[in-house]
Amino acid sequence: MNLLLPLLGGMLFPFAFSPFEAPWVALPSLALLFFVWLNASPKQAFLRGYLFGVGQFGIGVSWIYISMHDYAAASVLAAGLLSVAFILFLALYPALAGWLSSRLFSHVSKRVRLVMVFPGLWILCEWFRGWFLTGFTWLETGGSQVDTVLGQGVAPIAGVYGAGLAVAVMAGTAVLAIAARGSARHAWLSILLIIPSVSYGLSKIEWTRAAGEPFSVALLQGNVSQDVKWQAESQRETLMLYRDLTRQNLDARLVIWPETAVPAFYHQVKDVFLNKLQQEAHARGSDVLIGIPYFDFSDKRNYNALISLGEQQGWYFKRHLVPFGEYVPLRRVLGFLLDILQIPMADFTQGSPQQSPLTAAGFLFAPSICYEDIFADDSRFGLPQAAYMVNVTNDAWFGRSIAPFQHVQMARLRALEAGRYLLRASNTGVTAIISERGSLLGVAPLFERTALKGSVQPMVGSTPYVRFGNLLVTLPLLIVLALLILRYKFRYLGRGTVMGNL
């Protein structure tokens, strides 16, 4: 039973996220895990955490097989083995949280472990997963809460990890409430209600405000199949497709193309295509943002870029690249994977972290490309100066899986954390206009060629999360857990001393 419960909890966990839209599931899922950690040895806690992770990622990121087999041309065997290896690696993070909880805090009372230690270590290990080895933030607990009072109230202040911590503390409190009897149970149930009550009050705070008049936008979704996108014979057809979609929507103040919508380098199409398009847009009073690869002749490097064509031309080079999708880490050792995963344009260079926000439609905006929007701290780039946010992406790699829905849910949380509208143009979807509260104001159907039109309200001001980032969560957690370790260490070594009685 102690092995079945964490596996079951992990398998339930992804259903808290989009497209299943059951955020409440995160609470009982974590409660099951915390319950089986209570009386576990370090080895047992590691194994139970690992089984939770196998269930969590085995279901939640199963789409990785589709990306590798259907679109990266890996064989069934290779894609299967690589997918399993990826899932088994990710499962190490929940296992680490379990091992640390038992190894360092076995002498802490059950109450303290359930409401402080387990939630704190769970969130710190999520934070660690978010940056270690360039990071992977899929299925972070707080990401499931964008539509709840926990997300609406806590995320603008403490981000995704703050919202996740609120869920985790509630999960630990629920275990105590179930185990208690009589008045003690009523007390814990009352405490359980405090967090959503406070979050509801916080959700009424308007951290940002309107700046200027709204403007119209058109987000283009070309629905160009990934398997033909980079074929030379399809290049002209793709360019004409986006040119025609742009011409049809030049009544919008801003037109946005997806990531690498142009299947050629900037210098190859600048004179014969882009200059004329820019003149047409300027004559109609429109700005155009285009995802395009860029080759820098000065340093002989490729960049995944976003260009702004309009009154002010500007460039943004992607700063957070996808390992094995856009570059190969430790290439001398792992370069053979390029022979297995036949991915075009897999040799990009990281853009400088010192870039500035771009200007379009008369306002500064904060750009991001592809999965940069899954990293909360990275998405603070250009804020609070920027009036809105733009993300261009190509989720065709995910096929008809749950991944596009998970991805746009993370983008919604970025908008909520920043208090800014976020415009998201995707090749196959989910193309969306997202409000400063993380609400979907407009969504284009998946795998349809279309233009999503709407309006955007520029915003000014700064949320606490924009100002302080993850420090509001990670620093207090590290301090509290360190103090707990010291408290019980000195109590064990110095019984009867002043330190021992702290």
Q: What would the pLDDT profile of 256-268 be if each residue is shown by its tens digit? A: 999 999 999 999 9
Segment 111-135 shows an average pLDDT of 96
Q: Which of 425, 366, 418, 416 is nearest to 395 (CA)?
A: 425
Around Cβ 208, how many Cβ atoms within 10 Å?
20
* CA–CA separation, 373 and 322 (whole Å): 12
Q: Is position 370 annotated as part of the catalytic site?
A: yes
Give the CA dihedral 493, 496, 498, 501, nearest 10 degrees. Answer: 80
Cα separation values, 218 from 84, 192, 215, 377, 394, Å: 40, 44, 10, 28, 17
Which residue in this structure is represented by tokens 């050629």?
264
HEC readout, 201-217: HHHCCCCEEECCCCEEE
* CA–CA separation, 398 and 229 (whole Å): 15
For the chain, what is the mean pLDDT?
A: 92
Q: Is position 259 annotated as part of the catalytic site?
A: yes
Distance of CA 432 to the CA centre of its chain: 15
Give the tokens for residue 210: 């309107």
pLDDT exceeds 60 at position 330? no
Ranges 46-60, 321-335, 405-419, 475-489: which has the least confidence: 321-335
**Per-residue confidence (pLDDT) for residue 478, from 0 to 100:** 96
Which residue in this structure is represented by tokens 């802490």?
108
Segment 467-478 shows an average pLDDT of 97
pLDDT exceeds 90 at position 5? yes
* Helix runs in 13-139, H state only: 26-37, 42-60, 64-66, 76-90, 92-105, 110-112, 118-129
pLDDT exceeds 70 at position 336? no
What one-letter code names the amino acid at 355?
A: Q
Do residues 270 and 239 touch, judged by C-beta distance below 8 A? no
For 297-372, strand residue ranges (E) read 301-309, 314-317, 358-360, 363-369
* Helix runs in 113-249, H state only: 118-129, 149-179, 182-203, 235-248
* CA–CA separation, 173 and 240 (whole Å): 58
Active-site residue identified among 125, 326, 370, 417? 370
Give the tokens for residue 502: 């702290």
Within 13 Å, how many C-alpha atoms sit on residue 279's CB side?
A: 7
Return the higher-pLDDT residue of 488 and 206. Answer: 206
Which residue in this structure is represented by tokens 């969130």?
123
**Per-residue confidence (pLDDT) for residue 499, from 0 to 100:** 35
* CA–CA separation, 99 and 148 (whole Å): 31
Distance of CA 284 to the CA centre of its chain: 36
Active-site residue identified among 126, 140, 229, 318? 318
Burial (CB < 10 A; 0-12, 13-18, 19+), residue 296, is middle
* CA–CA separation, 428 and 221 (whole Å): 6
Between strands 388-393 and 422-426, the pairing is parallel
**Per-residue confidence (pLDDT) for residue 337, from 0 to 100:** 54
Segment 80-105 shows an average pLDDT of 97
Q: Is position 318 annotated as part of the catalytic site?
A: yes
What one-letter code names the amino acid at 441?
A: L
- The DSSP line for 398-426 is G-SSSHHHHHHHHHHHHHHHHTS-EEEEE
Do residues 208 and 419 touch, judged by C-beta distance below 8 A? yes
Segment 309-331 shows an average pLDDT of 82
Give the tokens for residue 300: 């002989």
Q: What would the pLDDT profile of 241-289 be if each residue is shown by its tens digit? A: 999 999 999 999 999 999 999 999 999 999 999 999 999 999 999 999 9
* CA–CA separation, 417 and 436 (whole Å): 8
Segment 81-96 shows an average pLDDT of 97
Burial (CB < 10 A; 0-12, 13-18, 19+), residue 272, is exposed
Helices 149-179 and 118-129: crossing angle in degrees, nearest 10, is 140
* CA–CA separation, 188 and 180 (whole Å): 8
Q: Which residues contact 209 (CB under 8 A, 6 or more apart)?
A: 459, 460, 461
Around Cβ 333, how many Cβ atoms within 10 Å?
9
**Per-residue confidence (pLDDT) for residue 502, from 0 to 100:** 35
Do residues 227 and 71 touch, judged by C-beta distance below 8 A? yes
Q: Label residues 448-478 b or e (16+ Cβ within 10 Å = b).
A: eeebbbbebbbbbebbbbbebbbebbbeebe
**Per-residue confidence (pLDDT) for residue 501, from 0 to 100:** 41
Do residues 308 and 255 touch, judged by C-beta distance below 8 A? no
**Per-residue confidence (pLDDT) for residue 498, from 0 to 100:** 39
pTM equals 0.93
Q: What would the pLDDT profile of 150-200 be if each residue is shown by its tens digit? A: 999 999 999 999 999 999 999 999 999 999 998 989 999 999 999 999 999
**Per-residue confidence (pLDDT) for residue 234, from 0 to 100:** 84
- Reported as a pLDDT band with limits 50, 70 and 90, residue 225 is confident
Active-site residue identified among 126, 140, 259, 436? 259
**Per-residue confidence (pLDDT) for residue 496, from 0 to 100:** 45
Q: Which of 217, 229, 283, 280 is nearest to 259 (CA)?
A: 229
HEC readout, 373-397: HHCCCHHHCCCCCCCEEEEEECHHH
